Chains A and B, each alone.
Chain A
């Protein structure tokens, strides 16, 4: 930027990290998000329709606490209409040749690419995550995911699930608020590619990009009822997953809710896939490239404000390099910029909601009460909105709540180990098993460790890498089923040879 306009009125300015240059603001224009309606209904059968009920919820910009829009609290009747629309569309959609279904998905991928700036800004406003992230991570992955699964639609015979694998029917999909549009893509793309129709419920704090996606379905000419979007909170989600005419349930969110869904559908013929919480260990050995490891640790826990189910929230550092690593880590944390999500310099945006901020605050307080030592860099936080400083705890024991519970915020718990075997023991000492990280220059040790870690994704000398071709999902209470890759087709296919 050539000049700094001192009058630029942004909702919040990026906080000034101590001892650093001041950055001129580099704000993305909120207007690029396109027009946000004052209120939204559901998207059912190819049209926006009013709810049968009168209850409306509000979605706010978590960086300003300003209301962005009202949207409908989906009722059981709304869910019923949406499932009926999906059921009606199923026969036609599933009997289309795969090559024709593919072309709809390719169209969606291309339109997402075309409209990616608009969607990135909208996502950033509704979610609070930095624009740099929505622009460079979320949106490219959304388009890539549709592109990848588009290609599978006419190649299912080659996917290794036997000849002529069949779709399941109507898929009920409930997604979280941390990657709203990306989670939609992870759910919708494989479901449609395999010939299912869907009813999707976005999270109640981040419904806007899903509703905008409905417009993209219309631009792509997708047949009515193939994708239906019903908004609302957990009550709507429960009504959807409980609906008797649903054949498939896919849920991403917390382990307690996942457990409740698994109980709810017990005894039915519904196929279930769950992507739940995590408490990933990021394991750093004494021979690790230190600067690279520090970047990986920071990316692992502070990416997306730590609102990441696979976040590297437990740092396991080999005792001999603890001091050196923590010094470097603290130095790096001091340069993180917390503030306006729409500023392109921002590293850490707003916490998604007041409720989530309260949970992070409570767990961090518990960390102090239980005897761990808390540290956070000095940085100003904006006045309005929901914010939390990047924080780390040292002296954490395995029994501490901050080592056991998913915080889902920018809070890192540091533990130590002496031997690889001890690292494995500690890493696996959790009911979760979503991801893990290993930092060492020794390849054989990476593979030895990876073999023993009970986690669905293991990153070596990197962290938080995602690709549509790569399966993602957890062991143990982090859920079951995989999203992404060839494996991501299976949760949406009838692969039971004897099931007619």
Chain B
């Protein structure tokens, strides 16, 4: 055989990431994912409402363990994600380039920014209580201390637009939620889910316990309303709810979420204008927290 004979590349079967495992969709169906020039890239699982409900179960089951780890431990796990992502930089560069129609250089810069964003949030795990909590000088002989606690399960509609949405945008909505001890179910960007599905492979090898992050690809109009109306989801990040009408529209999702008084982060006023490379601040980090205040008397 000639050494120059063409080698047939091995394609990857993209799968969902639920409860630390990589299942196919219960629907048994996939949909075509193309690049920005309509060239076929891969088939992605067509996740359903049932897949979404299964993912919520997995996320709920993971809350106790994940929120119970020390903040230091969570920080190290998030930092480990950055380490693992760094090692797969080339793969993600190619996926981001295809997903967003960018050249390799620009895509690589977005992957680097995504790695650094994990590091940014790794550093927040053991500091958020120090800026969001504290002692309150009540007018009486009482010790009074407020501390933040995670809300629980957060439904995330991953960004579908804006510079860097496919990986950096995804990391920018997932990492702040789990940094504080929440678990998430993510509706991956419908038209460009491949970086998200590959991120599942990184998370699975980064000491992130199964169920802390669950990634569902498919129709946002199926997945997002399931999250919004689910009785066991505590909060909703609507970053990628860009539909103008129908059940996947931000207003409809927010209204549905109101039934269980979910905490809701609305999408940007103009989601297509979002630059995900901008410094993230603490907005999302502080969005999925409850404040608990403890009183205790002082006296002999």
Hey, which bits of chain A sit against chain B, CB under 8 A?
Answer: 99, 102-103, 106, 144, 147-148, 150-155, 158-160, 420, 443-445, 447-448, 451, 468-469, 485-486
Contact, CB under 8 Å: A444 / B299: yes
**What's the Cα separation between A451 and B120 when bound, in Å?**
36
Provide the residues of chain A in CB contact with B297, threshold 8 Å.
Answer: 443-444, 447
Contact, CB under 8 Å: B299 / A151: no
Provide the residues of chain A in CB contact with B120, threshold 8 Å.
Answer: 99, 154
Provide the residues of chain A in CB contact with B141, threshold 8 Å.
Answer: 448
**What's the Cα separation between A300 and B75 when bound, in Å?**
30
* A-B CB contact pairs (8 Å), 18 listed: A99-B119, A103-B116, A106-B122, A147-B76, A151-B125, A152-B127, A154-B123, A158-B127, A158-B282, A420-B300, A444-B297, A445-B300, A447-B143, A447-B298, A447-B299, A451-B298, A468-B72, A469-B130
Contact, CB under 8 Å: B116 / A155: no
Instruction: With CB as the reference atom, state the residue of chain A lying closest to B297.
Output: A444
Contact, CB under 8 Å: A469 / B299: no
Provide the residues of chain A in CB contact with B75, threshold 8 Å.
Answer: 147, 151
**What's the Cα separation between A106 and B300 when bound, in Å?**
45
- SS class, residues of chain A in contact with chain B: helix
Is B149 at the interface (CB under 8 A from chain A)? no
Provide the residues of chain B in CB contact with A150, threshold 8 Å.
Answer: 123
Provide the residues of chain B in CB contact with A103, threshold 8 Å.
Answer: 116, 119
Provide the residues of chain A in CB contact with B298, threshold 8 Å.
Answer: 444, 447-448, 451
**What's the Cα separation between A374 and B8 when bound, in Å?**
84
Provide the residues of chain A in CB contact with B7, threshold 8 Å.
Answer: none
Extra A-B contacts (10), CB below 8 Å, given A148-B72, A150-B123, A155-B127 = A102-B119, A102-B123, A106-B79, A151-B124, A153-B123, A155-B123, A160-B131, A445-B300, A447-B298, A468-B72
Provide the residues of chain B in CB contact with A147, threshold 8 Å.
Answer: 72, 75-76, 79
CB-based A-B contact count at 8 angstroms = 70
Q: Which of B76, B123, B299 contacts A448 (CB 8 A)?
A: B299
Whether A443 touches B296, Cβ cut-off 8 Å, given contacts A106-B79, A144-B72, A469-B126, is: yes
Provide the residues of chain A in CB contact with B76, threshold 8 Å.
Answer: 147
Provide the residues of chain A in CB contact with B127, threshold 8 Å.
Answer: 148, 151-152, 155, 158, 469, 486
**What's the Cα separation between A158 and B76 when bound, in Å?**
21
Provide the residues of chain A in CB contact with B124, threshold 8 Å.
Answer: 151, 155
Ranked nearest first, the 7 interchain pairs of A and B with the lowest CB-CB distance are A151-B123, A447-B298, A444-B299, A444-B297, A448-B298, A447-B143, A486-B130
Provide the residues of chain A in CB contact with B125, threshold 8 Å.
Answer: 151
Interface bits B125-159 vs A (CB < 8 Å: 1, else 0): 11100110000000001010000000000000000
Min CB–CB distance B87 → chain A (angstroms): 14
Instruction: With CB as the reference atom, state the residue of chain B lying closest to A467.
Output: B72
**What's the Cα separation between A154 and B79 when bound, in Å?**
15
Provide the residues of chain B in CB contact with A152, threshold 8 Å.
Answer: 123, 127
Instruction: With CB as the reference atom, state the residue of chain A lying closest to B129.
Output: A469
Provide the residues of chain B in CB contact with A160, threshold 8 Å.
Answer: 131
Instruction: With CB as the reference atom, state the residue of chain A lying closest to B117.
Output: A99
Provide the residues of chain A in CB contact with B282, threshold 8 Å.
Answer: 158
**Interface set, chain B 23-82, CB cutoff 8 A to A:** 71-72, 75-76, 79
Instruction: With CB as the reference atom, state the residue of chain B lying closest to A103.
Output: B119
Min CB–CB distance B203 → chain A (angstroms): 19
Provide the residues of chain A in CB contact with B116, threshold 8 Å.
Answer: 99, 103
**Interface set, chain B 251-292, CB cutoff 8 A to A:** 282
**What's the Cα separation between A469 and B74 when bound, in Å?**
14
**What's the Cα separation between A106 and B76 when bound, in Å?**
10
Min CB–CB distance A332 → chain B (angstroms): 29
Output the residue of A144, A151, A448, A451 with the most chain B CB within 10 A: A151
**What's the Cα separation between A443 and B300 when bound, in Å?**
9
Min CB–CB distance A457 → chain B (angstroms): 15
**What's the Cα separation between A468 and B76 when bound, in Å?**
14
Provide the residues of chain A in CB contact with B72, threshold 8 Å.
Answer: 144, 147-148, 468-469
Q: Which of A158, A448, A468 contacts B300 (CB 8 A)?
A: A448
**What's the Cα separation between A46 and B75 when bound, in Å?**
30
**What's the Cα separation between A106 and B119 when bound, in Å?**
9
Provide the residues of chain B in CB contact with A144, threshold 8 Å.
Answer: 72
Provide the residues of chain B in CB contact with A102, threshold 8 Å.
Answer: 119, 123
**What's the Cα separation between A435 and B237 when bound, in Å?**
45
Provide the residues of chain B in CB contact with A148, threshold 8 Å.
Answer: 72, 126-127
Provide the residues of chain B in CB contact with A468, threshold 8 Å.
Answer: 72, 126
Provide the residues of chain B in CB contact with A486, threshold 8 Å.
Answer: 127, 130-131
**Interface set, chain B 195-210, CB cutoff 8 A to A:** none
Min CB–CB distance B58 → chain A (angstroms): 29
**What's the Cα separation between A465 and B169 when bound, in Å?**
40
Provide the residues of chain A in CB contact with B299, threshold 8 Å.
Answer: 444-445, 447-448
Provide the residues of chain B in CB contact with A155, threshold 8 Å.
Answer: 123-124, 127
Min CB–CB distance A500 → chain B (angstroms): 26
**What's the Cα separation between A144 and B300 when bound, in Å?**
37
**What's the Cα separation between A347 and B270 when bound, in Å?**
64
**What's the Cα separation between A143 and B143 when bound, in Å?**
32
**What's the Cα separation between A147 and B82 when bound, in Å?**
14
**What's the Cα separation between A152 and B127 when bound, in Å?**
8
**What's the Cα separation between A273 and B116 when bound, in Å?**
33
Output the residue of B75, B116, B123, B143 with the most chain A CB within 10 A: B123
Min CB–CB distance B200 → chain A (angstroms): 24
Interface bits B99-133 vs A (CB < 8 Å: 1, else 0): 00000000000000000100110111111001100
Interface bits B218-259 vs A (CB < 8 Å: 1, else 0): 000000000000000000000000000000000000000000
**What's the Cα separation between A445 and B126 when bound, in Å?**
29
Provide the residues of chain A in CB contact with B131, threshold 8 Å.
Answer: 158-160, 486
Provide the residues of chain B in CB contact with A99, threshold 8 Å.
Answer: 116, 119-120
**What's the Cα separation between A103 and B131 when bound, in Å?**
22
Contact, CB under 8 Å: B296 / A447: yes
**What's the Cα separation between A155 and B75 when bound, in Å?**
15
**What's the Cα separation between A158 and B124 when bound, in Å?**
11
Whether A444 touches B296, Cβ cut-off 8 Å, given contacts A106-B79, A151-B124, A155-B124, is: yes
